Amino acid sequence: MAIHAAKSGDSYLTVSEATRQINDTFEAYFPQLLFHGEISQLTVAASGHLYFSVKDQGAQLSCVMWAGMARTLSFKPAQGVAVRVHGRPNVYAQTGRFQIVVSRLLEDGEGELQRKFIELKDRLQREGFFSVERKRPLPFLPRAVGLVTSRTGAVLHDMMVKLRERFPSMVVYLSETRVQGEGAADEIATAIRKLDDSRLVDVIIVARGGGSLEDLWAFNEEAVVKAVFACSVPVVSGVGHETDTTLCDFAADVRAPTPTAAAEMVVPKVTDLLQRVSELERRLRDFDRWLQPMVQRIDDLALRLDTRASAVVAEGSLRIKAAEAKLASIRPDKVIELLRGKIEIFHGRLYRMGMASTDRLNTNVSELRDRLRRAIPTERVEHYRSAVDTLGGRLLVGVKRGLEDAKAQLLGLGLRLDSTNPQRVLERGYSIVRVGGKPIRSLVEVSDGQDVEISVTDGKILGTVTGRSMQR
Amino acid sequence: MAKAGKETVVTLEALVSGEVSEAQVDALSFEQALKLLEEVVTSVESGSLPLDRAIGSYEHGTALIKHLRKLLSGAEEKLRMLNQG
């Protein structure tokens, strides 16, 4: 046989011939190979061929299933699905790759890992590790970001690029860990705890690139879920691709579809923030706008003052008119006339009764009239009337003066308002002198040799007091 | 002057009445400082403050803007390693 020929060394085969002989041997010894295991690393080629591995705990075999065969499958092959395989071994001549050409693929219940995943998920769910109420919001702007991932590989690089793009000065701490293989879960959990204990970061991203269910398995383990759950700062899970789901995703406060998306979530865009600050700055510097309500209030007060003044004047003149009317109605002559009439009647009655002489009565009447005159003299009425007039005049003058005062005050207020607008004051050539940050108003607030700070429109002048003189 | 506890809460009232030191403003988180600045601008715009306090608020607003800009600027990001072991 050719194999023996190769051993003896007297005849060398070409690689192609060697490959063909290997395949012939396989064909002879394993016309049909039956085995079972779990599908992993499944790829559906554009041609429709299926490329995948079938593995168990200790070994894996590369498999290929031609498109025509693949179309007849009664189930959808997927990562972790347990299968029974009929196939023949073959070395693919072009790459030298050993593979099983699958002729029949049968589903063998649920894949072992898939089953484990679901069991663990259900249990941890019951234990409250995935509770929605526990999810915390991400900080608006973290002091620093913590990364839990592998130091090598594109994932770290891609996240750093995204972080730099959004917020160039963000500080990032890497807590390095292996992300797959035996013991990786404990390492990931430790890396999370270390970042948390350091108190250096306000948010943590747990990240890994895409891979098979086995590759991502560490992120399904209880140790990782518990570490994420126990973390005192919010955790973003960016494990695998959009379609990969791990238990770490469920335990995290936020699940990101990819590591890069996670980086995007944890920091805001610095340009957006600068824009917000600039907008507020513009509003703060807009004096006209914030003085507007004050001007309006002064206008309003002025209007109210005018209204009030007219009301006072109107009320005053109304009262004067009433007093005049009342005075006019008390006519002394009419009173005397009235009394005289009454006396005549009384006189007549007395006369008729013959109880006293008419003369005597006449004298009495004269006396009575004089007393009455003294009691209500016309002069006094006139005096009252003019007193009322004077009072009315004074009232008017008073109200007018009050109005003038108010207007003057208002004008003063307007001037003061204008003069206190710091920008305008400074623009007019005045300056604010401060000692120790406090504006000074009087000589007594500074002493010789003290440093002063003089604010002008465009900045500050620093100086020292060399002397003071009192304004006379 | 620093208060105990890691989070110092600065209110608008304390800020405009001059009870807040420069160091306390510098210790504010971006979010806190931005919120305060928004309150300062809103209260100044409302015109409900007496003029002297409005002018004081203007100065405090300027200090907050300075602090916020400082938080947003700075060197390129640094990747720091957390000690393993």
ipTM field: 0.79
CA distance A33 to A103: 10
Of A164, A174, A277, the CB nearest to B82: A174
Closest CA in chain A for residue B69: A274
Name the residue among A384, A146, A9, A77 with its Cα closest to residue B81: A146
- Which of chain A's residues have a Cβ under 8 Å away from the Cβ of B65? 277, 280-281, 284
- Which of chain A's residues have a Cβ under 8 Å away from the Cβ of B6? none
Q: What is the DSSP letter of A111?
A: -
Can you give the pLDDT of all 472 residues of chain A as single tens digits? 445 544 555 688 999 999 999 999 998 988 889 999 999 999 999 999 999 999 998 999 999 999 988 888 877 888 888 888 999 999 999 999 999 999 989 887 556 678 788 889 999 999 999 999 999 999 999 989 999 999 988 999 999 999 989 998 899 999 999 999 889 999 999 999 999 999 999 999 999 998 888 889 999 999 999 999 999 999 999 999 888 889 999 999 999 999 999 999 999 999 999 999 999 988 888 766 666 666 676 677 777 777 776 777 777 777 767 766 766 666 556 666 666 676 666 666 655 655 545 566 566 667 766 766 666 656 666 666 666 666 666 666 766 666 677 667 666 666 666 656 667 667 777 788 888 888 888 888 888 888 898 888 888 888 888 888 877 6
Contact B40 A284 (CB under 8 A): yes
Nearest CA-CA distance, residue A145 and chain B, Å: 10
CA distance A143 to B31: 11
CA distance A86 to A84: 7
Provide the token pair at A291. 């003085």
Q: Are strands A60-65 and A50-55 parallel, antiparallel or unpaired?
A: antiparallel
CA A85 to chain centre: 58
Contact residues, chain A to chain B, C-beta under 8 Å: 139-141, 143, 146, 160, 163-164, 167-176, 191, 194-195, 198, 200, 270, 273-274, 276-277, 280-281, 283-284, 289-294, 296-297, 416-417, 420, 422
Of B29, B58, B84, the CB nearest to A176: B84
Of A163, A280, A293, the CB nearest to B77: A163
Contact B76 A294 (CB under 8 A): no
Closest CA in chain A for residue B27: A143
- Site from B41, B48, B59, B64 to mutate, A interface, most A CB atoms within 10 angstroms: B41
CA distance A217 to A219: 5
- For residue A306, give the H/E element and its range: helix A287-329
CA distance A100 to A90: 6
Closest CA in chain B for residue A295: B47
